[in-house]
Structure 1
Amino acid sequence: MDVEGRGTLNIEQGQEKGTQNNDSGLATAHTIDSDSWKQVGLMLVTTFNCGWILSFSNLIMWPLGWTWGIICLLLVGLYTAYANWLLAAFHFVDNRRFIRYRDLMGYVYGKGMYHITWVFQFLTLLLGNMGFILLGGKALKEINSEFSDSPLRLQYYIVITGAAYFLYSFSIPTMSAMKNWLGVSAGLTFTYIVFLLFVLEKDGKSNSNRDFDISGSQVSKVFNSFGAISAIVVANTSGLLPEIQSTLRKPAVKNMRKALYLQYTVGVVFYYGVLVMGYWAYGSAVSAYLPENLSGPKWINVLINAIVFLQSIVSQHMFVAPILEALDTKFLEIDMPMHSGENLKRLFLLRAFFFTGNTFVAAAFPFMGDFVNFLGSFSLIPLTFMFPSMLFIKVKGRTASIEKKAWHWFNIVFSFLLTIATTISAVRLIVDNIQKYHFFADA
């Protein structure tokens, strides 16, 4: 089996749609083996162009500046694309299909790695969902700020956002069920990015006093740079590729790679374009939430924030679906239709419990940049870079060339060191913010 080539695909022919195979981790309450690569590719493009890109000018370009910012965007983006391309091949190992990352790592490396992967994934997805709730709340507050000099506290809008996410998640319970909403999401995405780029160009041309200097001590510059690298990772990957791939029709490996090509070509042009334009327009004064810098007119500011809120309702669902799948598979009657009476009651309670908890934590710790940096460092870097190379070493190590083995060992060691450095940077930022803010701060 050639994990980096075509040979992996031939084992897919024996997999039938809907097969329940507990040894391969295919018992699930959610839909698998049903979606086209175009649907998944569109989901990736729209989801990674969510409102989070409005924080990346500050989180990425401001700490790195023009030269290192562009270099890191290109290098980390390419490295991330390669890592996901590699991981897609391990959807099938030893004639088994793995629809969950934790099952794959557990099968190859044992129960300990199963639990480590579970913690890393769910920590990433939980923090990511809290970040989305903060994002939606921030967008609603910005709309209120356009009409009032004393807008309501951020926490009110966080609660509204959590309720909206809950309703969507209850109505559209699985990742595949997002199909009919992806066109709407794509339209909203294109609209808000076009208007945003229009205002950024106008503000950039009128702002002749832009300052691109990187402020702070040498130590803080180093730590902030590692935080920026974490944010670039967040901008490009999710840590749940096997879960996304599970929804694809055969050949799942080939189709997943087609979807990734769409994300890393069409998709990356938009979110990289916005973060570069944001930094060009405002320099080192760029805000952690880009609409706070916009000069108007008022209706454009309101429209952008409204679309960001609406689009985030769809986008956040991809990141939270693997957690909901785990809950649904454990607590729903998977032999009964998901919309049967008993399952609907359980579905409602599971979603209500999950989003109530996440909304409360997001309201208590409203530090958006911290969520981005921390999930990109401690958990997402190993999931993206380290674990795929570990899989290669274990599955193909005996037959691979020395050059390939050396390359993957380099990936493992490098990503381990990068995880340590970026996590220290993220914790340092969190400590600084804890000193500045209090619980339920109106950030």
Structure 2
Amino acid sequence: MDVEGRASKGKSLTLNLEQGQQEKGTQNDDYGLASAHAIDQDSWQQVGLMLVTSFNCGWILSFSNLVMWPLGWTWGIICLIVVGFYTAYANWLLAAFHFIDDRRFIRYRDLMGYVYGKSMYHLTWVFQFLTLLLGNMGFILLGGKALKAINSEFSDSPLRLQYYIVITGAAYFLYSFFIPTISAMRNWLGASAVLTFTYIILLLIVLVKDGKSRSNRDYDLSGSEVSKVFNAFGAISAIIVANTSGLLPEIQSTLRKPAVKNMRKALYLQYTVGVLFYYGVTVMGYWAYGTMVSAYLPENLSGPKWINVLINAIVFLQSIVSQHMFVAPIHEALDTKFLEIDKAMHSGENLKRLFLLRAFFFTGNTFVAAAFPFMGDFVNFLGSFSLVPLTFMFPSMVFIKVKGRTARIEKKAWHWFNIVFSFLLTIATTISAIRLIVNNIQKYHFFADA
């Protein structure tokens, strides 16, 4: 029986946490394990460190403006805590569905397609890839802004942002060519961790110094009531982006047995050690500058010059490694389709194809990022209509399908609440994101030197 037949006739599915774990290519169906990338290799410590460093990338330098500025102290802290716990729970739940009916699902779209049919497979594919594409453009903008900030410290007329966007895109391309998979990042995670904690510690020192020297900080929310509501939903989108990626099954696929237990250990590391730093920077940035906080926090720093240069340089270097996790599922899909997966990744023919695939991808993404340099919009937009369903709605839908017949009524009610609430939140945050984009289109032109 095919997947859509199974779904339409309502036959129950069986949750199986670890059985059925096989080597790649052994599942003989539409949702098998055939992949050009490594499966079942990494330790939970490696994946946990990757999550901590990747979510503490330079994007956290925007969250004081995107999260705290629209919400203020009270609602800002409440939303950070509530959305953080809710996101952690949703990922913890999704990790359990890595194995169903003695099958392992290494891709989110495969999981949704097996449980709900081809339509959900394609919808999940669109949501995921749109999120990851927009996220990668945001990373390219981030790297470009960091390089321009360095140039601005030494020149009163720095080069246009687009030059630095191109440099960033080229750097990301080279890294993804030589380090093509998530598992291959293992030798770079130590250096990424050192860079991450160095720039965050330096940043916090400057924030404390600037905050103490400013006695007239303003924390009052401005704008009309309608604007405050829309801005608040945009802030919620940004908090979701700060905490989740929409690609947990793809990350989980790299883990050794037991994959569910190990994924949850990695999540515990992210939502304790990791969240301490990116929430800390978010709150301290708002404390130091209030409503004057910039969309790119280093623009507020008082100096000295060498710290500003060092922080921006580290942000650029760290982003080269951290961006790779968020775009790896797209690379995996392209590599699996176009490479000869029975041969080594860097064999002769595969090397040429890999070069062309990476060059094509980053050329397109770099061009779009240069044409639309609105970094905050990318954060809010990917956190709205695509990331909200991937994080909150779809895991509860899978629970209803897999365990709905045997679960207690209060659990079913809870997951139906999640589905309805996530649907409404998706509508609200998407409207807010579109409104922000429309406003910025009116302010900026194509290839603006933002």
TM-score w.r.t. the length of structure 1 is: 0.97
Alpha-carbon separation, structure 2, partners of 1:233 and 1:169: 26
Over 3 Å counting, the alpha-carbon distance change for 1:258 and 1:2 in structure 2 is farther
- On the 8 A contact 1:59/1:369 being kept in 2, the answer is yes
Deviation string for 1:187-217 (max 9, x for gaps)? Answer: 0000000000000000000011100011100
1:4/1:269 CA distance change after superposition, 3 Å: farther
**1:209-230: per-residue Cα shift (whole Å, max 9, x none)?**
1000111000000000000000
Q: Report the equivalent of 2:9.
A: none
3-state secondary structure, aligned to 2:5? coil
CA 1:11–1:52 in 2, change beyond 3 Å: closer, same or farther? closer
Q: 1:410 to 1:226 in 2, by over 3 A?
A: same
Is 1:367 matched up with 2:374? yes
Instruction: Name the CA distance, whole Å, in 1 between partners of 2:262 and 2:2.
Output: 17
Shift of the 323–347 alpha-carbon distance from structure 1 to 2, 3 Å rule, reads same
- What are the Cα deviations for residues 341-376 of structure 1, in whole angstroms up to 9, with x where unaligned? 000000000000000000000000000000000000
Q: Distance in 2 between matches of 1:194 and 1:5?
A: 55
Instruction: Answer yes or no: is the 8 Å Cα contact 1:53–1:271 preserved in 2.
Output: yes
Shift of 1:18: 6.8
2:99 corresponds to 1:104: no
Aligned length: 442
Structure 1 segment 179-198 matched on structure 2, within 5 A: 179-198=186-205
Give, in whole Å, the separation in 2 of the partners of 1:228 and 1:173. 33
- CA drift at 1:13: 4.2
Does the 8 Å CA contact 1:9/1:253 hold for their aligned counterparts?
no
Q: Distance in 1 between matches of 2:208 and 2:263?
A: 35
Summarize the Cα distance change of 1:132–1:310 in structure 2 as closer, same or farther, 3 Å threshold: same
Give the match's secondary structure for 2:41. Answer: coil
**Structure 2 CA distance for partners of 1:213 and 1:4, relative to 1, 3 Å:** farther
Q: CA offset at residue 385 of structure 1?
A: 0.1
Deviation at 1:336, TM superposition (A): 0.7
Normalising by structure 2, report the TM-score. Answer: 0.96
Q: Is the 8 A contact 1:374 1:427 kept in 2?
A: yes
Aligned structure 1 segments of 4 or more residues deviating by more than 2 angstroms: 1-6, 8-25
Distance 1:5 1:197 in 2: 56
1:298 aligned residue (292, 305, 308): 305
Distance 1:274 1:5, change over 3 A: farther
Residues 241-299 of structure 1 show CA distances to partners (whole Å, capped at 9, x for unaligned) of 00000000010000000000000000000000000000000000000000000000000
Paired position in structure 1 for 2:207? 200
Displacement after TM superposition at 1:24 (Å): 3.7
* 1:26-48 deviation line (CA, Å, top 9, x unaligned): 00000010000000000000000
Q: CA deviation at 1:3?
A: 20
Counterpart CA distance in 2 for 1:201 and 1:9 is: 49
Shift of 1:21: 4.5
Shift of 1:434: 0.2
Shift in Å, 1:5: 28
* 1:9 maps to 2:35: no
Match of 2:142? 135
Gaps of 5+ in 1: none
- State the alpha-carbon separation in 2 of the partners of residues 283 and 146 from structure 1: 24
Q: 1:64 to 1:3 in 2, by over 3 A?
A: farther
How far 1:378 sits from its partner (Å)?
1.0
Matches within 5 A, 1:200-219: 200-219=207-226
Check conservation: 2:17, 2:96, Cα contact below 8 A.
no
Q: Is the 8 A contact 1:231 1:372 kept in 2?
A: yes
CA contact (8 A) 2:25 2:34 kept: no
Deviations 1:105-139 (A, max 9, x none): 00000000000000000000000000000000000
CA drift of 1:331 comes to: 0.2
Query: Does the 8 A contact of 1:98 with 1:104 survive in 2?
Result: yes
Assess if the C-alpha contact under 8 Å between 1:136 and 1:161 holds in 2: yes
Q: How big is the shift at 1:12? A: 2.3
**Partner of 1:34: helix, strand, or coil?**
coil
Q: Aligned in 2, Cα 1:47/1:5: closer, same or farther, shift over 3 Å?
A: farther
Stretches of structure 2 lacking an aligned partner (at least 5 in a row): 7-13
Q: Is the 8 A contact 1:18 1:33 kept in 2?
A: no
Q: 1:20 to 1:182 in 2, by over 3 A?
A: farther
Equivalent residues of 1:204, 1:280 under 8 A apart? yes
CA–CA separation in structure 2 for the residues paired with 1:422 and 1:159: 31
SS in 1 for 2:445: coil
Give the conservation status (yes or no) of the 8 Å contact 2:388–2:426. Answer: yes
